Amino acid sequence: MRTSLSELLQSRRVLLADGATGTNYFESGLGPGEPPEFWNFDHPERVKDLHQRFVDSGSDIILTNTFGCNAHRLKLHKAESRAFELAKRAAELAREVADACDRPVVVAGSIGPTGELFEPLGALTFEAAVASFRTEIEGLQAGGADVAWIETMSSVEEVRAAAQAAIDVGMPYTATLSFDTAGRTMMGIMPGAIASVFDGLSVPPVAMGANCGVGASDILVTLLAMSDSCGLDNVYISKGNCGVPQFHGTEIVYSGTTEVMASYAALAVASGARIIGGCCGTSPAHIAAMRKSLDAELNLGRPTIDVIIANVGPLTNSAPSETGGRERTRGRRQEG
């Protein structure tokens, strides 16, 4: 029952993606500093188990265990030559789970940033970045991924490099940025400028949007800014963190409950998203609650910031100003 993301979007009004990879792996034994991608060979049963739990919770899209599977990230572990094989194996594991399901499930090949700065701020050239992403995407394609899922990006150059690599390989792609710095990406991109990031590319993304960031409330505000500026004709993705990370001793705990994430999912649809999922801290239990919320098909009106805060929680960043930036709004900034 294999399908493409575009076909599934034609048949369903809203799709549910999966949740976190890394934070769930930590609970399954991933050690500090251990690259999750090595689990594709060392612990394939654990990788498949998480995919299966997300599918069982209602996910329509599962992301491969390849967030750091490019040569620049893998060289930190002296494994830069393994990018293709690790990506291929990750896609094969996700494909096995998707193909065993009695409904269509899309396998999305996760493509995270290189961790390098582009010229002139750093040494990475556009051409080198494209080549690195191309190797990873070729592995994902060989393993059976349906779409290249570019995520957690912060610079125009890196998004375009990953997108160009997908185009070169012949894979459809999506792209999400992380708006985690006062409502912008770390490199200064505003939510309303996201559509312009792909100007001039020969193939546009199937969907675009935001992931990770600083919390579920903030990503909803980001989503509103995107759809206000770029229009509702685009397919938007919202894959927010499960609340806000907080230190409990030496352990990081995310504040989002299943109830909060259920509210987040409903408000994401009302804010213009057609693909909703969770990022850091989001467990299969959270995804199950989000599935129930989406299946309820609530006809909510487009939310205000006050409605978002009342239902999902305070903003971590300040509320947006009339000039398109962020300004402090007393009582709305989450401390800690």
Residue 327 belongs to some domain of the structure: no
Q: What mean pLDDT comes out for the span 44-49?
A: 98
Compute the half-sphere exposure of residue 35: CA atoms within 13 Å on the CB side of its CA: 23
Note whether residue 323 is domain-resident.
no
pTM of the model: 0.93
- Give the domain range for residue 28: 5-312
Question: For residue 329, what pLDDT band results from cuts at 50, 70 and 90?
Answer: very low
Domain assignment present for residue 24? The answer is yes
Q: Is 66 part of any domain?
A: yes
Q: Is the per-residue pLDDT at 25 higher than 90?
A: yes
Pair 250, 281: CB distance under 8 Å: no
Summary mean pLDDT of the chain: 93
In a domain, 329, yes or no: no
Mean pLDDT of 272-279: 98
pLDDT of residue 323: 36
Report the pLDDT value the prediction gives residue 253, as an integer from 0 to 100.
84
Whether 251 shows a pLDDT value over 80: the answer reads no
CA 19-325-129 angle, 5° bins: 55
Q: What is the pLDDT of residue 333?
A: 29
pLDDT band at 237 (very low <50, low <70, confident <90, very high): very high
Nearby residues of 7 by Cβ (< 8 Å), 6 or more positions away: 104
pLDDT tens digit sequence for 98-136: 999 999 999 999 999 999 999 999 999 999 999 999 999
Q: Distance between CA 17 and CA 226 in Å, rounded?
A: 19
Q: Which tokens hold the place of 306?
A: 């006050």
Residue 94 forms part of a structural domain: yes
- For residue 292, is it within any domain? yes
Q: Is residue 318 part of a domain?
A: no
- Structural domain count of the chain: 1
The one-character DSSP state at 191 is: G
| pLDDT for res 1 | 77
Q: How far apart are CA 30 and CA 191, in angstroms?
A: 33
The residue-averaged pLDDT of 268-274 equals 97
| Domain CATH code at residue 301 | 3.20.20.330
140-196 confidence digits (pLDDT tens): 999 999 999 999 999 999 999 999 999 999 999 999 999 999 999 999 999 999 999
Question: Predicted confidence band at 319 (pLDDT cuts at 50, 70, 90)?
Answer: low
How would you label 262-285 residue by residue, b for 16+ Cβ within 10 Å and e otherwise?
A: bbbbbbbbbbbbbbbbbbbbbbbe
pLDDT at res. 335 = 29
